[in-house]
Structure 1
Amino acid sequence: MAKKEKKINVKDVAKKQVVEDVKAYYENLGYQVSLGTEFGLTNSTLILHMEECDIQIKIVAPGVKNGLRYTKIED
């Protein structure tokens, strides 16, 4: 029996890349940045450790039902 080729989840790949880019951006600005998984959060969450408090950044993307795109609401 032939092995099935694993389908690439484009949403997960894109979110991973954005998390890496955002982490690098804030680190280059001098912030200490941790991955959310270190705090029991998802792998698409970052924690910025600031002097006054921590800030959570959550990367989200629309689901497959919406075609992986957001629909703009027109007035």
Structure 2
Amino acid sequence: MMQLFTAILLFNDALAYIFRGCVGSLGYYMVRISNFMVFILSDVIMFFFHVYVCSYLFEDGEWKNTTKYL
């Protein structure tokens, strides 16, 4: 999932770069939408990375056992 969202993020970043100098309503909206998508997708990628790291560190039920030592 992280790779898919990273590809979408890079595609939207490229669209924002392509339409950066275009005058008119199409360029205006494409840059705004693309920059918003880059903003949102960076958080989505960080979420999936967090899930990946947690699934790597805490395997089946190990998370429940660590709370009693805290």
TM-score by length of 1: 0.33
Larger radius of gyration: 2
Q: Which has the larger helix fraction?
A: 2
Report the structure, 1 or 2, having the larger strand content.
1
